[in-house]
Amino acid sequence: MTQPQIAVDKVSHVYRPPRGRPVLALEDVSLDVQPREFLALLGPSGCGKSTLLYLIGGFLPVERGAIAVNGEPVKAPGPDRGIVFQHFALFPWKTVRDNILYGLERQSMPKAERLERAQQFIDLVGLTGFEDSYPSQLSGGMKQRTALARTLAFDPSILLMDEPFGALDAQTRHLMQAELLGIWQRTPKTVIFVTHDVQEAVYLADRVAVMSARPGRIKTIVDTKFDKNDAGVFKSKGFVDKVDELWNLVRDEAIKAERHK
């Protein structure tokens, strides 16, 4: 095995709300992610999936344990890690093009190169013709395409995705899943994808890390490699069986989470 691109080693994290008692969100989590791997984090609500993603992104401090990216400890956010949120996080006063240009401007890239690069990613995510539209003029799927293009434009080697399709309707969600898979297959990126949708995890990921009810631990990791380009993959016996296997694992944890509320 090559050195993992992302190594999470015995990480625990305590969430300290402004009021109320501290909550142990993650406990003794260890996880290796290989270069170019697509890994899904799956588990019941409140199990610490997003917390783990933000720790890898450097948005939260690592208090216990260690996280390394390419052998270097994570201490802060960096351009090697791009994050896509569920609720788009676009600037409402900026057009599609200007939202995508924002990150490139902060990299001090020459203007002509910035514009060319922004257009390249607008075309990649299927937004050609909407360059001058504002977020209020876009559908949910188009907003998420813009957010994805903005993150891809500064070329991070790692994509961290926090339920990015959770706010979309079922049809748009499926289109965006296929779009993401196509982009991942064309670009050499490592993806960590947080979801509570079992079918989405099985369809998108090479492996699925199932997390336990809080405090979140890695319960098991399941191999989910299928031919993603097969139009009938959702109906194949192997796919359906894998969804059932993972659903049973997640359901057990969801029941435990409900009992401890």
Task: Output the pLDDT for position 261.
Answer: 61
Measure Cα distances from 64 to 16, 57, 161 in Å. 15, 16, 23
Q: Which residue has the higher pLDDT, 126 or 37?
A: 37
**CA–CA separation, 132 vs 171, rounded Å?**
25
pLDDT confidence band for 234 (50 / 70 / 90): confident
What pTM value is reported for the model? 0.91
Express each pLDDT in 66-109 by its tens digit.
Answer: 999 999 999 999 989 999 887 778 999 999 999 999 878 877 78
Task: Output the pLDDT for position 1.
Answer: 58
Express each pLDDT in 126-144 by its tens digit.
Answer: 899 999 999 999 998 899 8
State the DSSP H helix or E strand holding residue 246, giving kind and residue range, or none if neither: helix 237-259
Cβ(223)–Cβ(238) under 8 Å?
no
Cβ(10)–Cβ(64) under 8 Å?
yes
Name the one residue in this structure whose structure tokens are 């057990």: 252
Cβ(260)–Cβ(213) under 8 Å?
yes
Task: Output the pLDDT for position 257.
Answer: 76
